Structure 1
């Protein structure tokens, strides 16, 4: 192990000992157990989001929301909306509104990954999503993963983001096993002939230009087993129970409607959902030879001298920049016919 890695691991261990936190030790034991039971990393691919910091400031970049978009342009569209609504709701000064709307206009025309407006730098950032895997498939939630105090199965608004406000600071204190994973991921690249050459080259370049790694808050999702592979089903959630509720909602409400289940299929999925709910903190359900599992999903963001990595030239796009909102003038008046 290089001396730099050893120093970092020693520092993490010393911090853990200094804290003398029994809960932290239990979490570490959980993580060690997971590393043996699920020793492989299954990488799904890139994810995108937004981060900001004060222009000229020294503080870390902070996330503006969830880093879960599938393409850079989806994140740019999010920045477009953020700035448009700031112009609509957050400023009264005409000059400030004009500055915001000028940035919106640029985002409508160009695939811009960074803007500075009203003293704040905004950047579209890139991460990678992965899960641990072992002989029995993807890792389910760990016993020490946080659960809501009241695990309701009732429908509710989307859970609040765990990413928003998160500091992208490589020096951020973390657990010993998380620190070891972060250090190991510094050298991660996409390899293999099934990846285009440009994709592999950008991956290797990122290791040089963005050598540090930050692990984002852990998320949870639903995956379905297809032969030897697992396929994601639905969005990522901040807690295991939120993912369980998403699975139940899919089995009883969404999938029967989208896939036009017949009465027997509806009954089978409803019965399986009821048994899954009754089991409490179950993480797997099989219905009609289809296996669904609540999985633990992690994400990383690379950090360089100037902050988090932005989109790479080889990242796939499915849409182009476009006008998303009605025209607004410098007085904040919205013109729907413009």
Structure 2
């Protein structure tokens, strides 16, 4: 704090408040009870996404899409497409289009994590995914988490993260404030992580000392003998994860040839029984146990905003041209 004698900057401020609101009180009590039941955390690893900072938002950043990419380059590719389609569909101004296409050109050839275009800063950002654990069980959805009973596989689902404002100083309840304070010193220490990963994690404690919790998300996980494995992607609601688990068992496994006709029938019957229950969070079929798990993501924040990918965050591939060439008039040139 000696570096900021006049006023604590936003990235170091945790603003705890109490609202005279029955819903807020119930949510706080629910969160406190959950932290006592599931006091420890299991870190899965980093996820990546995009954030933008517009002139009127400074110093805050806003998530652009979902934080669900497993590699930084996947997020860079997403940004490449986002800017290219903006240049194609969202402007008739040649100067704006030139600026957008200049950023696209960089993203096609360089693994850059931040570009500016048409007065907006765009950044590839990272967050660590973790789940809380207690008594050998990962935390299930909380009673106060937004949920539904809709089993329609085509039911629309709200976004997890799109539009979320990364505001370290935003007012939060006591339980979230305590939870964030407990995560300030979180770093990779296990020997299962390579040396460079652990070193980058330690450096982040200083370069990005603040933490922000993203909205909770939900996955279906399979419990192994001494670990868990992911079955579905991230969902904004527990019901979205339940529907995805049913689809995995009844559609994906047979389609991929991982379940014969007899197994497919067993899975279908188990899925039907699962769907007959009220907001179920556990399914056992043929000795395999599947849980609906509450997932949290913590993003580190520094003086200039959310953390970018670290040097040790590996990529499976590099940048490339993803779309046809376009000129400042919006004319697209397709290859032969």
For Structure 1 versus Structure 2, the TM-score category normalised by the shorter chain is: over 0.9
Match of 2:5 in 1: none
- Residue 329 of structure 1 deviates from its aligned partner by 2.0
Match of 2:303 in 1: 305
Structure-2 change in CA distance of 1:250 and 1:330 (3 Å): same
Deviation string 1:130-186 (CA, Å, 9 cap, x unpaired) is 0001114211101111113xx321222662313111111111122211111111111
CA contact (8 A) 2:218 2:292 kept: yes
Match of 2:38 in 1: 38
C-alpha distance in 2 between matches for 1:321 and 1:8: 37
Match of 1:327 in 2: 325
- Residue 98 of structure 1 deviates from its aligned partner by 1.7
Structure-2 change in CA distance of 1:143 and 1:57 (3 Å): closer
CA contact (8 A) 1:62 1:168 kept: yes
CA contact (8 A) 2:283 2:291 kept: yes
For residues 277-296 of structure 1, what are the structure 2 equivalents within 5 Å?
Answer: 277-296=275-294
1:233 corresponds to which of 220, 231, 234: 231
Runs of 4+ in 1 over 2 A off after TM superposition: 54-59, 157-160
C-alpha distance in 1 between matches for 2:159 and 2:135: 32
CA contact (8 A) 1:186 1:213 kept: yes
1:122 aligns with 2:122: yes
Match of 2:4 in 1: none
Structure 2 alignment gaps of length 5 or more: 1-7
- Residue 24 of structure 1 deviates from its aligned partner by 1.4
- Residue 56 of structure 1 deviates from its aligned partner by 8.8
CA contact (8 A) 1:55 1:116 kept: no
Structure-2 change in CA distance of 1:216 and 1:66 (3 Å): same
TM-score where L is the length of structure 2: 0.93
CA contact (8 A) 1:103 1:115 kept: yes
- Residue 50 of structure 1 deviates from its aligned partner by 0.5
C-alpha distance in 2 between matches for 1:205 and 1:267: 51
Match of 2:107 in 1: 107
- Residue 280 of structure 1 deviates from its aligned partner by 2.0
Match of 1:23 in 2: 23
Structure 1 alignment gaps of length 5 or more: none
Match of 2:150 in 1: 152
Structure-2 change in CA distance of 1:227 and 1:313 (3 Å): same
C-alpha distance in 1 between matches for 2:207 and 2:153: 44
For residues 97-246 of structure 1, what are the structure 2 equivalents within 5 Å?
Answer: 97-148=97-148, 151-156=149-154, 159-246=157-244
